[in-house]
């Protein structure tokens, strides 16, 4: 069983579209959507949810005003500006659940309570089981929810003896991306030939290198700027990252997405490219 | 002098055109300050100040515990207290895992032996460039660091309310995004007419309504045959669409080179100035 995580650094490069199309070509797989801030994979895979579970990712401080003596110790010791200066109320959106306020409170007015931060879904798609999740807006536990999606996907894969786990990762370089990559066998980086796409690719590669796993690059919309595409290819060669494919700036892809369809079903040439990607991934993972 | 406003520019998913709008709007206006708060992947500089790495830089630090083994009695109080498992007991020594430490300072407070002190570690950087009509600030999270919020907090201390303030926010609906838009007078949500765009727009709007932030929508990559995806939803919800930027290979190509489209396409300067005035009136009414 091999786990592949698709990431991009920059958002909007085509990470989710790529993942959905690749999913349709892999056999015997479990898919996980770890972009829990903006989960979109289900819009292309149309899974049917089989079960859902409330996810309690973090504890938050809750204050009992009857016990509070307005001493201000909680305010003074909170490093996250999560307590108001005027009347020592807890700002849930800023609280990181460290419990320092509860510890320093002389009257035990503050308790730490588990809070619902998201929902985890197990679903059935036409290409296999799918685990996805939705974070409650403003909740700051996306890293933990990402880990939860990955754990569940991996348990399912073991139970059902699957060959592949395919993870749609989060954009950026922070906590959710690090959680998306943890434990993966291979990272696929979907990039685009723009100055920002290239800059972000280099930043996220620093994170990938930290994990010491092989990586492959996909240049999406490569003909939008062939000059920058060539630079990305040179960078990949230098860093010994395999170039998996180059996908053109294509009307078929835009139109397929708008209809909620897969481009591999609408264009033979693109399908061939994606099959090559599958072969290359298999080869890298055999090494 | 007319009262100016602060605007935050936001999107549910990345890559919808947030940077494009922020940069072009900033360049179309005068007496403006642009703050790039998308600290995980700051990109505005590519259009505004490509050489920013050589300009003025300020570190954003966080605190990491250090354990004095001579004073430590291996009582485990710090290890048990840490909510993030950033401390562990190895034989009779406390190990610190800097990556997962949230810098809350709890371990130092609970230690009965005064064995824990804190040292500074760089979390990120602020970069600054002063152009003729544009004061530009960028927040940047160091790679392998996880916590964007303190970098954004520090960045926002640079806000100059005598200027038109534009904040390019991180995409999404989590804490860094909320941090970036809090206390701005008005938010522009950039979306695109696709099922992904619509889905993520709804998530952002749920968040904006929860924090009672006034906002309006801009459709990027607008196309006659698909704009209804966004338009129908906005009409139903009573949300104003204040601008459409057309789907255009030319705009995409300019973006790819790091060239702001206001420099190359006719009429956009005026259009974006008008947009600011409309939003300003709307925001001052509220």
Which pLDDT tens digit goes with each residue over A67-82?
A: 999 999 999 999 999 9
Per-residue pLDDT band for B2 (boundaries 50, 70, 90) equals: low
Name the residue in chain B with its Cα closest to that of A8: B14
- From B92, B122, B152, the end of a domain falls on B122
CA B172 – CA B201 distance, rounded (Å): 9
Q: At B81, which CATH number?
A: 3.30.70.20
Q: Does B245 fall in a domain?
A: yes
Tens-digit pLDDT string for chain A (287 aa): 999 999 998 989 999 999 999 999 999 999 999 998 889 999 999 999 999 999 988 899 999 999 999 999 999 999 999 999 999 999 988 899 999 999 999 999 999 999 888 999 999 999 999 999 998 877 766 788 999 999 999 999 999 999 999 999 988 888 788 889 999 999 999 999 999 999 999 999 999 998 999 999 999 999 999 999 999 999 999 999 999 999 999 999 999 999 999 999 999 999 999 999 999 999 999 98
By the CB < 8 Å criterion, does A199 face chain B?
yes
Answer whether residue B119 shows pLDDT above 90.
yes
- Asked if the Cβ–Cβ distance from A206 to B144 is below 8 Å, we say yes
Cα of A223 to nearest chain B Cα, Å: 10
* B100 and B224 assigned to the same domain: no
pLDDT tens profile B202-250: 999 999 999 999 999 999 999 999 999 999 999 999 999 999 999 999 9
SS3 A174: coil
Per-residue pLDDT band for B88 (boundaries 50, 70, 90) equals: very high
Which residue, chain included where needed, has tokens 């998913």? B13
Under a CB-based contact definition with an 8 Å cutoff, are residues A8 and A190 in contact?
yes
Answer whether residue B73 shows pLDDT above 70.
yes
* B140 and B269 assigned to the same domain: yes
Under a CB-based contact definition with an 8 Å cutoff, are residues B184 and B24 in contact?
no
Q: At B218, which CATH number?
A: 3.40.50.300
Per-residue pLDDT band for B170 (boundaries 50, 70, 90) equals: very high
Taking contacts as CB-CB distances below 8 angstroms, the residues of chain A near B261 are none
Which is more confident, A175 or B94?
A: B94
* B100 and B201 assigned to the same domain: no
Q: Which domain holds residue B116?
A: 61-122
Q: Of A227, A226, A224, A208, whose CA–CA distance to A216 is shortest? A: A208
* B280 and B142 assigned to the same domain: yes
Where are the alpha helices (H) located in B130-194, listed in sequence order?
149-156, 175-181
Domain tally, chain B = 2
Q: CB-CB: which of A104, A225, A249 is closest to B257?
A: A225
DSSP A64: -
The four Cα atoms B97, A189, B207, A147 give a dihedral, to 10 degrees, of: -40
Answer whether residue B121 shows pLDDT above 90.
yes
- Asked if the Cβ–Cβ distance from B211 to A93 is below 8 Å, we say yes
Under a CB-based contact definition with an 8 Å cutoff, are residues B30 and B16 in contact?
no
- Asked if the Cβ–Cβ distance from B46 to A138 is below 8 Å, we say no
Cα of A208 to nearest chain B Cα, Å: 10
- Asked if the Cβ–Cβ distance from A12 to B13 is below 8 Å, we say yes
45-104 of B, contacting A, C-beta below 8 A: 46, 63, 81, 83-84, 102-104
pLDDT tens profile A194-241: 999 999 999 999 999 989 999 999 999 999 999 999 999 999 999 999
Domain A2-56+118-286 has CATH 3.40.50.300: yes
Cα of B92 to nearest chain A Cα, Å: 25
Q: Of A138, A135, A166, whose CA–CA distance to A150 is shortest? A: A166
* B235 and B114 assigned to the same domain: no
By the CB < 8 Å criterion, does A91 face chain B?
no
* B220 and B135 assigned to the same domain: yes
Which of A7, A44, A102, A137 is the mutation pick for testing B, counting most B CBs within 10 A?
A137
CA B220 – CA B190 distance, rounded (Å): 7
Report residue B172 as tokens. 């999404």
* B143 and B281 assigned to the same domain: yes
The strand pair at A118-125 and A128-135 is best described as antiparallel
* B213 and B255 assigned to the same domain: yes
Per-residue pLDDT band for B101 (boundaries 50, 70, 90) equals: very high
> From the CA atom positions of chain B, what is the Rg in Å?
22
- Asked if the Cβ–Cβ distance from A196 to B258 is below 8 Å, we say yes
CATH number of A58-115: 3.30.70.20
- How much is the pLDDT for A60? 93
Name the residue in chain B with its Cα closest to that of A174: B146
* B43 and B143 assigned to the same domain: yes
Strand ranges across the sheet with A118-125 = A48-55, A118-125, A128-135, A29-33, A164-168, A2-7, A186-191, A215-220, A242-247
By the CB < 8 Å criterion, does A103 face chain B?
yes
Report residue B29 as tokens. 């206006």
- How much is the pLDDT for A175? 79
Backbone angles phi, psi at A242, to 5 degrees: -70, 135
Q: Does B56 fall in a domain?
A: no
Contacts of B54 (CB under 8 A, 6+ apart): none
CA B222 – CA A268 distance, rounded (Å): 28
* B165 and B240 assigned to the same domain: yes
Assessment of whether the complete model's pTM goes beyond 0.95: no
Under a CB-based contact definition with an 8 Å cutoff, are residues B64 and B102 in contact?
no
Taking contacts as CB-CB distances below 8 angstroms, the residues of chain B near A230 are none
- Asked if the Cβ–Cβ distance from A16 to B146 is below 8 Å, we say no
Span B106-113, average pLDDT: 98
Under a CB-based contact definition with an 8 Å cutoff, are residues B137 and B158 in contact?
yes
Angle, CA B137 vertex, CA B134 and CA B138 arms, to 5° = 135
Span B160-177, average pLDDT: 94
- How much is the pLDDT for A141? 67
Q: Does B84 fall in a domain?
A: yes
Based on the number of CB atoms within 10 Å of its own CB, is B109 exposed (0-12), middle (13-18) or buried (19 or more)?
Answer: middle
105-134 of A, contacting B, C-beta below 8 A: none
Helices then strands, each counted (H, E), chain B: 10, 11
Under a CB-based contact definition with an 8 Å cutoff, are residues B277 and B52 in contact?
no
- In chain A, where the domains are located: 2-56+118-286, 58-115
- Asked if the Cβ–Cβ distance from B253 to A174 is below 8 Å, we say no
Its ipTM equals 0.89
* B190 and B260 assigned to the same domain: yes
Answer whether residue B272 shows pLDDT above 80.
yes
- How much is the pLDDT for A171? 84
pLDDT over 70 for what percent of chain B? 99
Q: CB-CB: which of A11, A81, A195 is closest to B256?
A: A195
* B212 and B270 assigned to the same domain: yes
- How much is the pLDDT for B219? 98
Beta bridge partners of A133: A120
- How much is the pLDDT for A260? 93
């Amino acid at each position: 069983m091999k786990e592949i995580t698709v990431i991009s650094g920059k958002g909007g490069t085509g990470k989710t579209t790529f993942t959905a199309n690749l999913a349709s070509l892999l056999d015997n797989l479990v898919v996980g959507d770890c972009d829990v801030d903006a989960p979109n994979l289900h819009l292309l895979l149309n899974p049917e949810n089989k079960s859902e579970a409330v996810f309690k990712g973090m504890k938050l401080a809750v204050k009992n005003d009857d016990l509070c003596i307005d001493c201000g110790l909680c305010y003074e010791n909170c490093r996250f500006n999560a307590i108001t200066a005027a009347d020592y109320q807890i700002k849930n959106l800023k609280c990181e659940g460290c419990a320092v306020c509860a510890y320093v409170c002389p009257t035990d007015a503050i308790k730490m309570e588990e809070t619902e931060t998201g929902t985890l879904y197990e679903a059935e798609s036409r290409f296999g089981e799918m685990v996805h999740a939705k974070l409650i807006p403003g909740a700051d536990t996306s890293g933990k929810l990402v880990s939860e999606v990955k754990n569940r996907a991996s348990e399912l894969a073991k139970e059902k003896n699957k060959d592949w786990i395919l993870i749609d990762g989060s954009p950026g370089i922070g906590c959710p991306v690090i959680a998306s990559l943890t434990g993966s066998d291979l990272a696929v980086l979907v990039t685009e030939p723009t100055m920002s796409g290239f800059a972000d690719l280099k930043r996220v590669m620093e994170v990938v290198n930290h994990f010491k796993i092989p990586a492959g690059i996909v240049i999406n919309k490569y003909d939008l700027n062939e000059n920058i595409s060539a630079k990305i290819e040179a960078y990949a060669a230098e860093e010994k990252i395999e170039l998996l494919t180059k996908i053109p700036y294509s009307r078929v892809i835009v139109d397929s997405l708008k209809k909620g369809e897969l481009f591999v079903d609408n264009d033979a040439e693109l399908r061939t490219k994606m099959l090559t990607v599958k072969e290359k991934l298999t080869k890298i993972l055999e090494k | 002098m007319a009262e100016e406003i602060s605007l935050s520019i936001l999107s549910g998913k990345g890559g919808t055109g947030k940077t494009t709008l922020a940069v072009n709007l900033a360049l179309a206006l005068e007496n403006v300050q642009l703050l790039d708060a998308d600290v995980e992947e700051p990109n505005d500089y590519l259009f505004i100040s490509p050489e920013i790495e050589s300009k003025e830089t300020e570190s954003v630090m966080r605190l990491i515990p250090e354990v004095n083994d001579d004073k430590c009695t291996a009582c485990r109080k710090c290890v048990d207290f840490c909510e993030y498992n950033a401390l562990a007991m190895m034989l009779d020594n406390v190990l610190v895992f800097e990556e997962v430490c949230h810098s809350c300072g709890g371990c130092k407070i609970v230690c009965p032996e005064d064995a824990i002190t804190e040292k500074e570690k760089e979390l990120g950087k602020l970069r600054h460039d002063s152009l003729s009509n544009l004061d530009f600030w960028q927040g940047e999270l160091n790679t392998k660091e996880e916590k964007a919020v303190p970098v954004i907090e520090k960045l926002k201390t640079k806000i100059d309310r005598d200027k038109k303030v534009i904040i390019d926010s991180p995409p999404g609906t989590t804490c860094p995004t909320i941090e970036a838009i809090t206390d701005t007078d008005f938010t522009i949500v950039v979306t695109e007419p696709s099922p992904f765009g619509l889905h993520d727009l709804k998530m952002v709007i749920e968040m904006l309504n929860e924090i009672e932030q006034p906002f309006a929508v801009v459709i990027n990559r607008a196309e006659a045959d698909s704009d209804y995806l966004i338009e129908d939803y906005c009409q139903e919800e009573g949300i104003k669409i204040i601008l459409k930027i057309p789907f255009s290979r030319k705009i995409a190509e300019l973006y790819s080179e790091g060239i702001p489209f206001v420099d190359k396409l006719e009429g956009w300067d005026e259009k974006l100035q008008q947009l600011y005035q409309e939003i300003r009136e709307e925001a001052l009414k509220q």
